[in-house]
Each structure stands twice: as structure tokens, then as C-alpha cells.
Amino acid sequence: MSSSLAVALVTPLTGPAAVHGLTTLRAVTLWARDEQLPPPWDDINVTAYDAHPHPAAAMRAAAAARPDVIFGPYGQRSALAACAATDRVVFNIGAPSTRFVRQAFPNVVNLLSPHSTWTRGLLAAVRAADRQARRVTVLLASDDRALEVVSVVRAAAARLGFEVASSVFRPGRVMIAARRLPPADVLIVQGDPDDENAAAEVLLRRPWRAAAFSTAGHDGALTALRDRRDGLLGPRAWSPRLPADAGTGPSVSEFVACYQRMYDQLPAATAAVAYAAGLVLGRCVWASGRADDPHVLAAARTLDTSTLLGRFRLDEATGLQVGHHSHLVQWRDDVAHVVWPADRAQSPLAYPRSRIGVARQHAMTAS
């Protein structure tokens, strides 16, 4: 006897994060069409619940419908509220944070490594290029992520021989904080896009050997800076132009082509994460032959595979994602090049940052 696998997606369908939520819904819908589950399941039914403006209420409504599986939602605050409102297993596809450790959220399956861990790759890339660099300065918004980012930066800096100075700014005070930052070899800025744009106007006039902004990895980031964006570094969870070995599901190019045929646009990283979550769920169902929470969670905890997103593997002690890692990209002539990790790099890190401007001047002179 055949049956349908019921998937509840709790995600913002309205409000400021709706673009991410709707992208997630499109990707999960595409996965549901493509996935082939073992008997008795012959199809997958996806129901979306709007997480805006009350994510906890949306999660309770989803759980009350008794779906087989729950995905969502996008955004750390929404995800924290939603996951705290249920004891169901939830695939965390939109809030990569150390807050979702197993000790606090034992039923959460994390698809992405914590966002703050991109700073480890940044410092490793700088150290590989420069054995003499010593000082790191960090400018952070006073939000839920500040302590997490500072902790990761300080731990990585201690291991690699850097000294760290940090400054936290309150809403509306980013320009003041930026002007007061001490000189350093490496600059790291963590905030929302508007704050980072404002900080960049001040900070990128200074001679940092490396400068990195948390939103700079996205296409269209900091475009108002024009030439000053060159050399800027930032994290990117996934790129449609960077191949990844896929032991489970389609390759990156196959997924991109399929998504474009379906929706007439390139998939964003949000879409890749959501689709990969479906692939991981499918592997868990195949491995256990069941779709109930205990069996899916047990299978996810031991699963070690790769998808179009990269590797999936959960840490045995914390439940955090340790298989997937963000890429570090560097902007040059309006193109973001992957420069770290070294084994995935599309081009070497241009270091120090001033080298890019000199290279452009030489090219213009030669032409």
C-alpha cells in the first residue's frame, strides 16, 4: 500500500525575509518532485507555514498537523523561537549557529556549519599568505551573533598567532565605531548589509592588508563602493559555479539546470541548502526504512555523505555541522573568486589588498 510523505516547511512567506522563505519553498517543492523514496512512499506532499511574524505559533501549527518531517525556518531569531516551540525533529536549513548545539536542541539536524566559522578560514588564508601579520580588529553589531563571532575569532587567532581587538556597535552607531577602530593587519566586520555598507565607506579608505565583511560574499554586496570593493573578502555558503562531489542527489550543474528550467532563474544558496536538506532526509529514510522522528534523527546523526552543497556530517558531541564549510571569496573586477579553502580555490588570494590596485594601474598603463 502506497502513501505520501508529509513535509511541513516553516519559513517566512511574508515580511522582510520573505524572499528567502519563498526561495526555500521553491527548492523544497523541486526536491519533492525529484526525490524517489523507498516503498511505501510514492510521493511527497509539502505544506508551508508562514513564520512571519510569529515563528513559534507557525511551528506549533505545523506540528499540530502531524507531518512526517519538519523543515525550517530562515533566520536565527525565527529558528530559535520555532525550534523552542516543539519537541519534534526539525531540519535547520536557515539558521547556521552554534546556538543549535545538541545540548540545547537535541532534535535539530543542522545542514550548515555555524556562520561564524567562516572567520577561521579567513585567518587561515591570511596566515598562509603572511607569516608576519599579527593584529586583527573586529567590528560587530550588538546582536545575537556578536559573542559567537568573537569567540570563534579569538580561538582561531590564538591557534594561528594573531592578536585580536574587538569593538561592538549599537544601532545607528556604526560610523562612530568604525572611525575609532585601531589599526591592524586584518579587518573583520560583522553586521547587517546596511551597517556593513556604512562601515565600508569609512574603513576601506584605510590600508588593511586584508579586509573581510560578513555580507561581502553575496552577489551585489557593497556595490556602491565601486573600485574599493576590489580585494574585499567574504563568506559564501555555496556557489552555482563551483563544482562539488555529490554522492547523494544531482551534481551542482544538474541542480542549477533543473532549477533554472523550473523557475527561470539561478538558484541562490538558500535554495541549495533547502534542496540538500531534502536529499539528506531521503538518505535517512532509505537507511532506516522509516520516516518517524527517532529513526530519521538516528540516521542523520551517523550519516556521512556529500550533496551539491558539499559534505554532510554532524559532530558526535555537539550535533553541529562539521562536514560543510563556507567558501571564502575575494572580489576582483566585479567578480567573486573562491580563494579558500585552498583545495577548492578558483584563484589564489590576492594579498595584500593593496596589490590589486597596483596590478590594475599596471594593466591600464600597459593598455
The burial class, CB within 10 Å (0-12 / 13-18 / 19+), for 344 is middle
Cell of 176: 562612530
User: In the predicted model, is pLDDT for residue 362 greater than 50?
Assistant: no
Tell me what pLDDT residue 218 has: 84
Residue 247 sits at φ, ψ, to 5 deg, of -80, -20
Q: Tell me the per-residue pLDDT of 259-281, one tens digit each, with 9 for 90 and over.
A: 999 999 999 999 999 999 999 99
pLDDT recorded at residue 363: 45
What residue has cell string 532549477?
Answer: 259
**DSSP characters over 191-224:** S-HHHHHHHHHHHTTS--SEEEETTTTSTTTTGG
Mean pLDDT, to the nearest integer, of 120-136?
98
Among 231-235, 326-330, 359-363, the range scoring the smallest mean pLDDT is 359-363
pLDDT score, position 366: 47
pLDDT given at position 355: 76
Residues forming beta bridges with residue 238, ordered by sequence position: none
pLDDT tens digit string along 198-219? Answer: 999 999 999 999 999 999 998 7
- Would you place residue 222 in the very low, low, confident or very high pLDDT band (cuts 50, 70, 90)? confident
Q: Give the global pTM.
A: 0.92
- Give the fold, CATH level 3, of 3-112+241-313: Rossmann fold (3.40.50)
pLDDT in the model for residue 356: 77
Q: Tens digit of pLDDT for each residue in 307-323?
A: 999 999 999 999 999 99
CA distance 341 to 339: 6
Question: Nine-digit cell at 12?
Answer: 517566512
Taking 80 as the threshold, does the pLDDT of residue 225 lie above it? no
**In whole numbers, what is the pLDDT of the chain averaged over residues?**
93
To the nearest whole percent, how much of the chain has pLDDT over 70? 96
Residue in 34, 38, 126, 22 with CA at minimum distance from that of residue 72: 22
All structural domains of the chain with their residue ranges: 3-112+241-313, 116-236+328-366
Name the residue with higher pLDDT: 242 or 69: 69
Q: What is the Cα–Cα distance from 245 to 64, expressed in whole angstroms?
A: 38
For residue 189, pLDDT over 70 is answered with yes
**The pLDDT of residue 357 is above 70:** no
SS3 37: coil
Q: What pLDDT is attached to residue 242?
A: 83
pLDDT of 241 > 80? The answer is yes
Point out which residues pair with 5 in neighbouring strands: 44
In CATH terms, 116-236+328-366 corresponds, of 3.30.540.10, 1.10.10.10, 3.40.50.2300, 3.40.50.150, to 3.40.50.2300
CATH fold match for the domains 3-112+241-313 and 116-236+328-366: yes
* pLDDT number for residue 365: 41
Residues with Cβ within 8 Å of residue 240, at least 6 apart in sequence: 252, 256, 266, 267, 272
**What share of the chain has pLDDT > 90, as a percent?**
85
Return the higher-pLDDT residue of 270 and 361.
270
Q: Which three cell numbers stand for residue 53?
A: 511574524
Which pLDDT score, from 0 to 100, does residue 1 have? 63
pLDDT grade for 160, boundaries at 50, 70 and 90: very high
Specify which residues 168 forms β-bridges with. Answer: 140
How far is the CA of 165 from the CAs of 140, 143, 191, 226, 361, in angstroms?
11, 18, 17, 28, 33
Nearest residue to 128 (alpha-carbon basis) of 57, 210, 206: 210
pLDDT at 248 over 90: yes
Q: How confident is the model at residue 361 (pLDDT cuts 50, 70, 90)?
A: very low
Q: Of how many residues is the chain composed?
A: 367
The confidence band for 224, taking pLDDT boundaries of 50, 70 and 90, is low
